[in-house]
Amino acid sequence: MSKSKQLIIIDEELCTGCGRCKDVCPVDAISGIHGEPHKIDSSRCIFCGQCVQTCSAYSSILDEPETPRADKLRERGMFQSTTEPLFAAYCAGDVFEISDALKSDKFTMVQCAPAVRVSIGEDFGMKAGSLTPGKMAAALRRLGFNKVYDTNFAADLTIMEEGNELLSRVKNNGTLPMFTSCCPAWVRYMELNYPDLLPHLSSCKSPQQMSGALFKTYGADINGKQRTEIYSVAVMPCTCKKFESARPEMSMEGHRDVDAVLTTRELAYMIREAGIDFESLPDEDFDKPLGTYSGAGNIFGVTGGVMEAALRTAYELVSGEPVPETDLIFVRGEEGFRIASMTMGEQTFKIAVVAGLTNVAPLLEKVRAGNAEVDFVEVMCCPSGCISGGGQPKVLLPTERDEVYRCRKESMYSHDKNSKIRKSHENPDVQKAYTEFLGEPLGHTSHKLLHTVFGKQDA
Amino acid sequence: MSSSLNHFIAADPEKCIGCKLCEVACSQAHSSGPAFTAGALSAPILPRLYVVQTPEITIPVQCRHCEDAPCANCCPVSAISRKNGAIVVETKLCVGCKTCMLACPFGAIELLPVYKNGAPVMQAVLCENGETSMDEVPMLFAGKCDLCSDRKKGPACVEVCPEKALSLIDPSRMKRERNIKAAMSFLNTSQNFS
């Protein structure tokens, strides 16, 4: 995991020591004297990349650089053709590795997280929050991926597993409250800072890892391939997803579930490098069955989305009736901490949504003290959920950031609203996957492929 | 406007943290096109103010919009003039002779490359030693603060500074305000004497 240790880096030549990264770091992993280059303590860093989004110290063409731009680009894992300015804080990239895999005889499968389709257009000059799932699928196909699947499929699957896990915990007096485990920065935060509370985390792998595990089993079967022939790539709004995919437990028989992760920004580099005109691409569909998704799966990319998706399905599981209103407005919002309750049949569930890790500690202290009156909690590390992730297109000016995030969020919800299927359990290909391959939620195969045990990380 | 002094932007070195966000904002305010993310930028960041960092001080330096502007006075092609209370360069007229750069006592002018559609605009110049008699070199212009006079929200650097270290100074108004403050202070002090 040596590579992951160097994931988020501050370029000493460019850092002016302004300390804005330090202010935005939710885990106090950045230190340095004002006016001198700052450093990241990798043993505390949760790789969320918010410092990358915030940093404005850039390499100016008016200054003579100590290290030439070409060398810096190579060091950062960026193509020489990349025109964007280089900032001090950055995430080490993987485009070279993935370009090589695309040229090899591997059978390449790619998945895209929900928050990528509402932001990638921005890096091609499109307006904030442009919704481009079809162009993204088309671009990935032109880049040479053999199968263009979607993380949203696994988001629906996560709801099936996580929803059933919650109900099982409630029924069997299991550990409550249960916390979501989709956000790898949040999981790492728990492991580093609250190891005693780890049983509260859902045992579900994140959608990225569920997809990866399915690609190399179910996906391999469907495509008549061996696990060893498949190279699995994920496109993510998140820098920590690179860390997550490299965790040793996220592999089977020595083969990683997800071989490599591209951030949204890196996918844009690849599209540019290949000379693809993104804006003029036609809308294409994701490949089936692992690219079929519901609106519920899509809203995973925004704060409150996992909770809303889960409640839409849980309501039906508990009461036997469809949820009266699909839009569960009460879990949406901007605040870093929100609580609500929902009655399903004869049961009332208390839920909480946390956006931004700086807002989670008070709740965790309550859980520790045994007086957190809540059953299910969604936690996302980034301030507005994945749409504001560390791997997303970098909004240059903080004065524009809120508006851009608002536009991305609006697109997430409108994509859900306009989906024919809006509940995870109604996704026909998820249903088919259970019938043909997985059996039942929390069953033997699900347990083996889709669940994991989170442990204390030795930093 | 013509009778009042030119405005200018001043920075407070006590507040400036040297983040260079003012430079990024300045470049954005002076670039055409819809790019608001780093990935969409196809031209370098080209600011018209310059963050100076020394062991003693961190502060952005930019044009003072001098009343008897040396840059405007010495420009051989009359590309620099006073416009709406600011000293501005007419980019199209500028020949990149650097006279203004030398004349400016603050170093507030930098020769910047002209970019169009993501590529530097080139110009042909006579060259003795080349294979042909003409060489292609990037076209340059004198880049300096224009107080973002075309921007509704005023100067971008002032708006974006996370430490509120920059402010737009109206020297005439500031003088009057200070006079009033001094007068009030005098009044208060004199009351103590009686």
* Contact assignment for B39 to A393 by CB distance below 8 Å: yes
Per-residue pLDDT of A186-205, as tens digits, reads 999 999 999 999 999 999 99
**Tokens standing for residue B112:** 């910047």
Count Cβ–Cβ pairs < 8 Å, chain A vs chain B.
103
**Which among B18, B21, B40 has the least Cβ separation from residue A124?**
B40
Tallying the residues shown for chain B, one arrives at 194
CB–CB contact A20 B159 (8 Å)? no
Among A237, A239, A217, which residue's Cα sits nearest to residue A226?
A: A217
Which of residues 80 through 139 in chain B touch A, CB cutoff 8 A?
A: 110, 113, 118
pLDDT at B130: 62
Q: Is the pLDDT of residue A457 over 60?
A: no
Which string of DSSP letters, residue by residue, matches A201-240? Answer: B-SBPPHHHHHHHHIIIIIHHHTT--GGGEEEEEEES-SH
Task: Measure CB to CB from residue B39 to each of A19, A34, A123 and give the nearest one.
Answer: A123
Q: Cβ contacts (< 8 Å) between B153 and chain A: which residues? A: none
Inter-chain CB proximity A122 and B40 less than 8 Å: yes
**Which residues fall within 8 angstroms of residue B134, CB to CB, at 6 or more apart?**
B124, B125, B126, B127
What are the C-alpha distances in Å from A3 to residues A8, A29, A93, A94, B127? 10, 18, 11, 11, 50
pLDDT (tens digit, 9 = 90+) per residue, A232-290? 999 999 999 999 999 999 999 889 999 999 999 999 999 999 999 999 999 999 999 99
B46 in A contact zone (CB under 8 Å): yes
Determine contact, residues A50/A382, Cβ cutoff 8 Å.
yes
Residue B19: which of A20, A128, A269 has the nearest Cβ?
Answer: A20
- What pLDDT was estimated at residue A330? 84
d(CA A110, CA B50): 44
Residue of A nearest to B117 (CA): A125
Q: Minimal Cα distance from B49: which residue of A? A: A62
Which of the residues in chain B have pLDDT under 50? 1-2
pLDDT value of residue B134: 79
- Please report residues of A whose CB lies closer than 8 A to that of B33: 125
Name the residue in chain B with its Cα closest to that of A83. B42
pLDDT at A294: 92
Residue that is written with structure tokens 């190279």 in the block: A231
Q: pLDDT at position B124, please?
A: 87
Sequence-distant (≥ 6) Cβ neighbours of residue A373 within 8 angstroms: A350
Pick the closest to residue A453 from A163, A214, A256, A202 (CA basis): A202
Per-residue pLDDT tens digits for A353-404:
999 999 999 999 999 999 999 999 999 999 999 999 999 999 999 999 999 9
Q: Do B21 and A62 touch (CB under 8 A)?
A: no
Alpha helices per DSSP H over A274-304? 295-298
Mean pLDDT of A110-130: 97
Check: pTM over 0.80? Answer yes or no: yes
CA distance to partner chain A, nearest, from residue B112 (Å):
8
- Find the closest chain A residue to B15 by CA distance: A18
Query: Is residue B17 within 8 angstroms of chain A, CB to CB?
Result: yes
Residues of A in contact with B42 (CB under 8 A): 83
Question: Would you please indicate which residues of A are annotated as catalytic (active-site) residues?
Answer: 162, 165, 182, 202, 241, 244, 249, 386
Write out chain A residues lying below 8 Å of B23, CB-based: 58, 60
Which of B25, B40, B55 has the CB atom closest to A123's CB atom? B40
User: Using CA atoms, how far apart are residues B173 and B183, in angstroms rounded to an integer?
Assistant: 15
Residues in chain B with CB shorter than 8 Å from the CB of A269 are 39
pLDDT value at residue A166: 93
- Pairwise CB contact (< 8 Å): A85 & B41: yes
Which residue of chain A is at minimal alpha-carbon distance from B158?
A: A399
pLDDT at A334 over 90: no
Q: Given this model, what pLDDT does residue A102 score?
A: 97
- pLDDT tens for residues A94-104? 999 999 999 99
More confident residue, A65 or A308: A308
Instruction: Please judge whether B160 and A395 are an interchain contact, meaning their C-beta atoms are less than 8 angstroms apart.
Output: no
Q: What is the pLDDT of residue A1?
A: 38
- What value does the mean pLDDT of chain A take? 94
3-class SS letters over A234-259 = EEECCCHHHHHHCCCCCEECCEECCC
Looking at residue B32, its pLDDT comes to 83
Nearest-by-Cβ selection for A16 from B28, B41, B53: B53
| A 378-417: CB under 8 A from B | 393-400, 404
